[in-house]
Structure 1
Amino acid sequence: MSEVNNSNSTASRRFAIGVSDFSTSEPLLNAEQIVACGMDFIEPGLAKMAAMSEADFDAAVQRIQAAGIRVKSANWFLPPDLKVTGPDVDLAKSKQFLEHALARAVKLGARAVVFGSPGSRSLPEGFSEAEGRRQMIEFCRLCSDVIRDHGWDLKIAVEHVNHTETNFINTFGQALSVVSEVDRPEIGLAADFYHFAMEDESTEIMLDAGDLICAVQLANPEGRCFPKAGASIPGLNAFFQHLVEIGYSGGVSVEATVDNLEQDCKASVELIATLPM
């Protein structure tokens, strides 16, 4: 297996840059086009992959591996009907999903799974936040147990998701508090520039998290689009500087609405190449 020849490889920049599953990006389907535009990896949606037939998934794996395309991480962790909080939590059902889905993430080469999943973790109206936190910690430890049982080199990256999408764990500080209480090496944090901006939260708190950060995502908060060269994006330089300061060495994926996939990918690669890092 040989990796795709990418003239904009990470040899010439500090971080590997990829595309997350979001809107119409469909990175698993569009992988070849994405890396041909200068991106280094793809971040496909895990719940989507888990729903694929065995034959379709195996065919996708063979295609991606034959092309030498890297899958550093996955997002879109849980289907909305698999509840992490509230009265409908079913840990046996959750474990069954985790066994199946995380095995597929590992088979594709992912090292982290971003745990946003607002439909799964949002608290039902009137539900106790303290109980929701207990359930979230219990679920994270279940994820850890499944990963340990299989000996997978994989981490779950708990994501802070802004208040317009969920009513639970909206800030990075809240996510850091939960992950610290979980206290398992298999459970880390995702740092998402878009959600920082939506919550008006300083990215400086990333320095407190250090190596707990195991996945990074971004979008231009103005329209949640691909960040492009020439755009004024307040705080983006500081965001990347904090990643440098904590010694982050993982990937950075763009999780944004697609206008024109080829043009968007090329524009984001161009922008990130100009950042002072």
Structure 2
Amino acid sequence: MNPLGIHALVWAGDLTPEGARKVITQSKAAGFDLVELSLHDPKVMDVALTRSLLEEHGLKVGCSRGLAFSADVSSDDPAIVAKGVALLEEAVNLTHALGGSYYGGVPYSALGKYGQPVTALGRKHVVESLRRLSDLAAAKGVTIGIEVVNRYESNVINTARQALALIDEVGASNLVVHLDTYHMNIEEVDFVQPVLECGDRLGYVHIGESHRGYLGSGTIDFTSFFHALAAINYQGPITFESFSSTVVAQGLSNDLAVWRNLWDDGMDLATHARSFILAQAKGAGLGVTGRAY
């Protein structure tokens, strides 16, 4: 059965005590099972309070974050790589402290457009960094998700097949593939073959429209995607993700290239997304945790 999740940036741009309370209460009110917390600014978070709120509202938690070019683990510069590893290790420790067992995002490069392919040395640094990170995560009971993103956000991984190859190279059993329909729409040949190739190594899914707005208003072939999930008996989280600078602060909005807003009402967006995902799951014969259709 699949937990139905929602990204925290649908509700609030940070995880201050006030922001965390809004994220958690709104996620519960909208009918979700899991909330994905973005750890892009962890110093503002009260970890104990956030965990208490999650437990109070009966929500599961997953975490994610991206890296800047100044902390890029695919860099040729060992000092820059070390900064990235430190941030990733902090994120894994925070995930564990929050009561979570999944940390994902892009732990293999900066999140941004590169001007050249990754170098052989940079690739070596990625593998070494992920081995170190996966060892720490395993000791904390945390699974690491390798999110596949498009060519304008990384030069290391852009397809599911590349993610599987990297996981094989790292050789850690707690690494899984994280697919996102928004990115798949740009890079993959379709919405079926990558899912089938991942099989039981698919550990997390982001549901996002082609323009990251309301589901069903863009070009994503969700019917094929959900049927592919059912074909591999996928039982991991299915998490809705969308961004608007109505919620997300300017700096992070710029990092995510939110140049226009497709929504300004998080609750309306979220409840629509929940209904849409449940309908797709029902049509594909895919279960969703504790939720009636």
Given the two structures, how large is their TM-score scaled by the length of structure 2?
A: 0.77
1:106 equivalent to 2:99? Answer no
Aligned with residue 32 of structure 1, among 4, 25, 35: 25
Give the conservation status (yes or no) of the 8 Å contact 2:85–2:129: no
Aligned with residue 251 of structure 1, among 232, 237, 247: 237
Percentage identity across paired residues of the two chains: 23
Q: 1:18 to 1:127 in 2, by over 3 A?
A: closer
1:64 equivalent to 2:29? Answer no
Give the conservation status (yes or no) of the 8 Å contact 1:85–1:123: no
Instruction: Report the equivalent of 1:190.
Output: 178
Provide the rounded CA distance (Å) in 1 between the counterparts of 2:113 and 2:153: 12
Instruction: Report the equivalent of 1:52.
Output: 44
Unaligned 5+ runs, structure 2: 245-262, 285-293
Give the conservation status (yes or no) of the 8 Å contact 1:44–1:75: yes
Aligned with residue 20 of structure 1, among 1, 4, 7: 7
3-state SS, counterpart of residue 30 of structure 1: helix
Q: 1:235 to 1:224 in 2, by over 3 A?
A: same
1:24-173 → structure 2 map (5 Å cutoff)? 25-26=12-13, 28=20, 29-49=22-42, 51-52=43-44, 56-71=46-61, 73-78=62-67, 81-90=70-79, 92-116=82-106, 120=110, 125-126=115-116, 128-148=118-138, 151-173=139-161
1:262 equivalent to 2:262? Answer no
Provide the rounded CA distance (Å) in 2 between the counterparts of 1:226 and 1:70: 24
Aligned with residue 202 of structure 2, among 207, 210, 213: 213
Q: 1:226 to 1:42 in 2, by over 3 A?
A: farther
3-state SS, counterpart of residue 6 of structure 2: strand
Post-superposition CA distance 1:61-103 (Å, at most 9, x none): 22222222221x2122545532211133445544543443212
1:217-256 → structure 2 map (5 Å cutoff)? 217-221=206-210, 223-228=211-216, 231=217, 233-256=219-242
1:183 Cα shift? 1.8
Q: 1:16 to 1:136 in 2, by over 3 A?
A: same
Higher mean C-alpha displacement, 110-119 vs 263-272? 110-119
3-state SS, counterpart of residue 40 of structure 2: helix
Post-superposition CA distance 1:33-66 (Å, at most 9, x none): 12201222100013333x336xx22222222222
Provide the rounded CA distance (Å) in 2 between the counterparts of 1:97 and 1:34: 27
Unaligned 5+ runs, structure 1: 1-13
Given the two structures, how large is their TM-score scaled by the length of structure 1?
A: 0.81
Provide the rounded CA distance (Å) in 2 between the counterparts of 1:78 and 1:193: 21
Provide the rounded CA distance (Å) in 1 between the counterparts of 2:7 and 2:277: 16
Q: 1:164 to 1:38 in 2, by over 3 A?
A: same
Taking only aligned residues, the RMSD between alpha carbons, in angstroms, comes to: 2.6
